[in-house]
Structure 1
Amino acid sequence: MKVAVTGGTGFLGKEVISLLHQDQIYTPVILGRNSVADNVSCEYRKTDYSIASLTNVLRDIDAVIHLAAIRGTNGSIADFYPNIIMTENLYESCRKLGIKNIVFASSISVYSDTTKIPWDEEQLPSPKTLYGISKITCEYIGNLYHRQYGLNIKSLRIAQVLGEGEKKGYMMNTFLDRAFEKKTLKVIGKSIAKREFVYVKDVARAILLALHKPDLHGVYNIGSGEAYTNLEIAKMVNNCFDNEDNLIYEDSLDEGIESSLMDSSKAKKELGYIPSFSFKDALNDIKKIKLQNFKS
């Protein structure tokens, strides 16, 4: 059987495609806007994500993994509106073609109430970013298509993803790169909030577990169960990369972030998801990858 993957050339998508190459049931087909995609290891189909285009490229597809999205925390709702339209067009095309098994990459950003940590799926979503609003809107569209047309959409609320290959400029990858190069890490802010990170390989495995549950529909938290302050993260990264004490901590400012932690027990019960990598395990794996890339 064939599974179409939107966003298959991205950071998470590459890990998902890598796992699908080992899968005994599904063969991946990447969907994208470009005429040609570089370094693609499977079939690639161009689409502008209109209903007409999607209906054409999905004609022989059995399931869909929907990862593609515009990310960020700034801007206007118009900047994230394409996420909603793309998702609606995708589900409408799946409805027309009878494709019912769908996995959607949602986000921990649909939550925000720090008085109710750890968050579970029964809590009322309360996104504080426009990106989070776009994600919960996509979830609601999925619920509508499930009720009206029987599409079984697994919406995975994914914690902040950790891994080599993530977009540069984010705090975590800045720490990893600087520690690998034996440079000083800088932690700016009081470092009070504790945030949950999950390793990209665990997320990819959770997506495949959901794919192999074609009759399930619902939302599932996908996290690690661990949360750390920025200062704790910096110290752990330095320790892993043998860069101890190469750290500047400035605590005179507010850090501008809030704590985050989810309860992923529903995913464990219904999907069989248990994270394989602790935060330290993930750092060690990233170190190994960085060393391999450096030597090559």
Structure 2
Amino acid sequence: MTTIARRTRDLTVSRAPFVHATVVRAQDPTSARPGDDAVILPDGTIEGFVGGMCAENSVRAAALDALRDGNALLLRVLPDGAPAFPDTPGARVVVNPCHSGGALEIFLRPVLPVPVLGLVGDTPISAAVATLAAFLDFEVATSGDHSGATVVVVAGLGKGEQDAIRAALDAGVGHIALVASRTRGAAVLDEMELSDAERARVRTPAGLEIGARSPQEIALSIMAEVVRALRVDGLASSPAQPAALPQQAVDPVCGMTVLVGPDTPHVRIDGTDHWFCCPGCLDRHVAA
């Protein structure tokens, strides 16, 4: 197993988000070769090799965008003056201003931790929710420890509901589904004297209104509401979300977007900061 393969395995096990970047095509002259790969972390750190400094700037910016939207991307890094590629869905073209030239195609695959569903209760409904959630690639946790959970489903049907809701709220869970009738659910929450913000995080009756009757149908309505919260309402799939995108700047010489960091070539002229993709662009700007 390669160093990068071990690293991707360890990051996946630890539920840390990252992007796996693989060079799929390289045109001389370029220092990267097909099969070279790297992982890019949420802070912009690149571990591995997918090209020189200019390529790294483009890979870093594209990888962090991929972490934010969760979509895989084919990045084409072309030498300055190369013929334009036609627009391709799922592809991004950037110009490499470095003198080395060469072209690269790099596949960027974001790896995000699967959402965790905390489940409370030992009932036919909770069993059906567990089965469906696993089918939908959720990690199902029944330990009662809700830290790290995306959503908690309370399906005890009257047993330990308030303690479970309180624990989920204290753990910062954004979506708590209480399986109860509208009347009983409201009564349970009224007794807890929740703040408006806390109460807004508890859905009761749980699930979308689809006329569900059987435990399996009720589980379907609950998971449909959970998926909608994730895909439509913007519920965070994991507390370990990608960090905010670092500060970006546009290289005034070549027009490349660069991420500002301690090693980014930089100069201040007349009180204005300028950042560059490489020392060559900085030198040309200063000499102009």
TM-score, normalised by the number of residues in structure 2: 0.34
Larger strand percent: 2
Q: Which has the larger radius of gyration?
A: 2
Q: Which has the higher contact order (CA 8 A, sep 6+)?
A: 1
